[in-house]
Homo-oligomer: A and B are copies of this chain.
């Protein structure tokens, strides 16, 4: 293989990594802004979050096409093939994270003017701050090929799920206390669920980094909080 071809293959991989970095930045900002829009009842910010999702969709589609062309043209092996496949997988998780943040922003619009229960919103905010941290760390781990950080993000997801379960129960209690809370709390229930699912996608990215660096899947089961007592939320 000529030096020219080798160099341009590296450039292709570098291009994929840059796209992931851009997508990661957009996803992080969308999640943080969607929660801010929810807390502050900021319709303009919510609209901005909704608008930025299409950029993420375009980037994902472009990255997927570029990565598949790279595989077809270069026939990469071992680490280079894993690098290309990992980029496809992470882009797909980031695209889903964007969709979920967009859903939160839409709910921020839907609840504006409704009966307010600030304590509940703060619960969603606390949970999302955790997940924003996980997302930030996992993107840094991807850039640095840092499998230890990826594993620590992966391990933290159990605590996020536990937080979600506790918030879920709290929301049910408010709904039972006063029927006027029901519509608002239902929206918050879905917001919390969206944040929890963003946590799952963050965990997926951590698994992909493990596969990328070590060449194999994380052996253990995905960490789950124990909720055997009362499976109030069965999805997680």
Contact = CB atoms under 8 A, between A and B. Distances in A.
Interface residues of A, number: 31
A120 B68 CA distance: 45
A68 B85 contact: yes
A172 B187 contact: no
Contact of A176 (B81, B106, B109, B179): B179
Contacts of A92: 92
Nearest to A81: B72
A224 to B, nearest CB: 12
Q: How many copies does the complex hold?
A: 2
A234 B107 contact: yes
A193 B194 CA distance: 12
A167 to B, nearest CB: 13
Most chain B beta carbons < 10 A, residue from A110, A189, A235: A235
A102 B231 CA distance: 14
A175 B75 CA distance: 57
A220 B158 CA distance: 41
A106 B76 CA distance: 41
Interface string A38-80: 0000000000000000000000000000001001110110000
A231 B106 CA distance: 9
Instruction: Indicate the member of A76, A182, A183 with the most B CB atoms within 10 Å.
Output: A182
B110 A234 contact: yes
B68 A72 contact: no
Interface of A: 68, 71-73, 75-76, 81, 85, 92, 103, 106-107, 109-110, 172, 175-176, 179, 182-183, 186-187, 189-190, 193-194, 231-235
Across the A-B interface, the 3 shortest Cβ-Cβ residue pairs:
A106-B234, A176-B179, A107-B234
